[in-house]
Amino acid sequence: MDVIQTITQCCSFSSRRCISSLIDAFVPPPQIPTRRVVVTGIGLVTPLGVGVQSTWNALIAGHTGVRPLSTDDLPLSHHSSLDYLPSKVVACVPKYQLDSENDPNAKHAAKFSHFASLASAQALLDAAWHPQSPQDQNTTGVAIGAGMSSTEDMTQAGILASTNKLRKLSPFFIPRVLVNMAAGTVSMTHGLRGPNHATSTACATGAHSIGDAFRIIQRGDADVMVAGGAESCIDAVSIGGFCRLKALSTRYNDNPERASRPFDAGRDGFVLGEGAGVLILEELQHAVDRKAPRMYAEIRGYGMSGDAYHVTKPPPDGIGAVLAMERALGSAGISANQVAYVNAHATSTPIGDDIEQRAIGEVLGQWSEHAAVSSTKGATGHLLGAAGAVEAAFTALAVYHRLAPPTLNLEEADPPGVLGNLVRGKAQQIKSSGGGGPIAALSNSFGFGGTNASLCFASIGRME
């Protein structure tokens, strides 16, 4: 600081540029490490099932987690709302599978935190990473976000407030509604003292959390990150709110398994879902040195952008989506003809799916005729803050197995002919461009407020 102060005083008569140049000469900028990051573990809690293998098998087989909304899905105080909700289809995590899982934090944690805990425990087990030494605990961090926190708890608190019964408010109310509590709970449960981070960017939350964790490892601030997103807001207030936005499907109340239909001409809105997705991200050499059981894929790139356009609608030209994908590919050093698969954000809304198709076509150019594109929301519904993480997991699995999952209920593409290889009906083998190099895939997530994220995954040699 003495050198810098002296330079500044001596150059007080000159421009800021002159001062900056002299400071740079004496104090060179620090070298920021850029380390390779791989996915070594996955945990999933989804409407298709609890666990990676069961969820992936159901997805590839073309099963759906969408079903009719019932009073069992709503808190007791919301039962009377069922008849007044225009949308009566949801995608809930199978309760019978949750009952078999043991989570010591479930009693005092909100459901989204519970989901995050279960998915994180699965992912750590899958990665065979159980840090015990102070060094390992200090260099393992957590980045798990949520889009809407616990609307159920906030609704119940509002009922107590309106009836002058706040003395009955749970002492755990505040911790239950804090978005960062999922990350905090996972950190405390497993003794992880690395970076502890929680993102909340609506439906892009999961992707941003994974992307931020990727960069934390790249820069050397951690060796391992437990990263993802969680959400559970299937209650009358959330469903009613999205219905008021005209965002949810209402046309298929009597045929719920057909309600979530990304890219299809008959789509009329998304299906509200819940769950969690967690990835174990790890510095490549760290994974090699400890002989990690497997590497699903390498995260090569991460792109972010803002639409700067509208609260809920994407711009007609899809510029935000285009920028996010281009930045992901640019940072990855991946060309468009290496992209073999795109897991689209496509939620089954008339406007959003159309614009994303055109954006993918613009980014991939001629290769958009060949790259496989699907939206797994046809099977899971839209998991909001957890969507990007669950879909990032699906994308890593697609690269690992060289298999693109199908888009359910895609019968007539709308608009037609924009993308040449929309995966429908059944899963499809992923084929490389033939130009050599890794097989690459993009996972897109876009959120209200015009926030966009795209993750680029690439194939890597298996360790099995």
List residues with catalytic annotation.
203, 345, 382
Alpha carbons 224 and 180: distance in angstroms, whole number? 19
Alpha carbons 351 and 344: distance in angstroms, whole number? 14
Alpha carbons 325 and 305: distance in angstroms, whole number? 9
Backbone CA torsion sign across 413, 419, 420, 424: negative
Burial of residue 310 (CB within 10 Å: 0-12, 13-18, 19+) is: exposed
Alpha carbons 234 and 224: distance in angstroms, whole number? 32
Note the Cα 313 to chain centre separation in Å.
19
Token digits of residue 329? 């590919």
Instruction: Please report which helix (H) or strand (E) contains residue 356, including its range.
Output: helix 350-364
| Vertex 205 angle, CA 346 and 439, to 5° | 60
Instruction: Please report which helix (H) or strand (E) contains residue 278, including its range.
Output: strand 275-283
